[in-house]
Chains A and B, each alone.
Chain A
Amino acid sequence: MQVTITVNGLPYTREVEPRLLLVHFLRDELNLTGTHWGCDTSNCGVCTVQLDGVPVKSCTVLAVMADGHEVTTVEGLERDGELDAVQKGFMECHGLQCGFCTPGMLLTARWLLDREPHPDEGTIREAISGQLCRCTGYENIVKSIQRAAEL
Chain B
Amino acid sequence: MQVPAQFEYARAQSVSHALSLLDRYGPEARVVAGGHSLIPMMKLRLAQPEALIDINDLSELSRIEVEGGELVIGALVRHAELLASAPATGLFPIFQDAERVIADPIVRNRGTVGGSLCQGDPSEDLSAVFAALRATAIIEGGDGRRSVPIRDFHEGPYETAVQAGELLIELRVPATPGTGSAYVKVERRVGDWAVAAAGAVLSVAGGVIERAGIGLTAVGAEHFCAPEAEEYLTGREPGEEAFAEAGRIAAEHCSPQPDQRGPADYKRHLAAELTARALRTAMERI
Shortest CB–CB separation between residue B40 and chain A, in angstroms? 6
How many chain B residues have a CB neighbour from A under 8 Å? 29
Whether B2 is near chain A, meaning CB under 8 Å from some CB there, is yes
B191 touches A64 (CB 8 A): no
Interface residue ranges of B1-40 to A (CB < 8 Å): 1-9, 11, 32, 35-36, 39-40
Name the contact of B110 in the complex, choosing from A1, A41, A56, A126 (C-beta under 8 A): A56
Whether B104 is near chain A, meaning CB under 8 Å from some CB there, is yes
How many chain A residues have a CB neighbour from B under 8 Å? 28
Which residues of chain B are near A18, meaning CB under 8 Å?
6-9, 52
A41 touches B5 (CB 8 A): no
Whether A65 is near chain B, meaning CB under 8 Å from some CB there, is yes
A129 touches B9 (CB 8 A): no
Q: Which residue of A lies closest to B103 (CB)?
A: A130
Whether A54 is near chain B, meaning CB under 8 Å from some CB there, is yes
- Bound state CA distance, A130 and B56, in angstroms? 23
Shortest CB–CB separation between residue B96 and chain A, in angstroms? 13
Whether A89 is near chain B, meaning CB under 8 Å from some CB there, is no
Shortest CB–CB separation between residue B120 and chain A, in angstroms? 19
B9 touches A1 (CB 8 A): yes
B105 touches A60 (CB 8 A): no
Name the contact of A127 in the complex, choosing from B6, B7, B52, B105 (C-beta under 8 A): B105
Q: Are A130 and B7 CB-contacts (below 8 A) given A65-B54, A65-B56?
A: no
A19 touches B104 (CB 8 A): no
B6 touches A19 (CB 8 A): yes
Name the contact of B105 in the complex, choosing from A40, A62, A65, A130 (C-beta under 8 A): A130
Interface residues of A (CB under 8 A from B): 1, 17-19, 21, 40-43, 45, 48, 51, 54-57, 60-62, 64-65, 67, 108, 126-127, 129-131
Interface residues of B (CB under 8 A from A): 1-9, 11, 32, 35-36, 39-40, 42-43, 52, 54, 56, 103-107, 109-110, 190-191
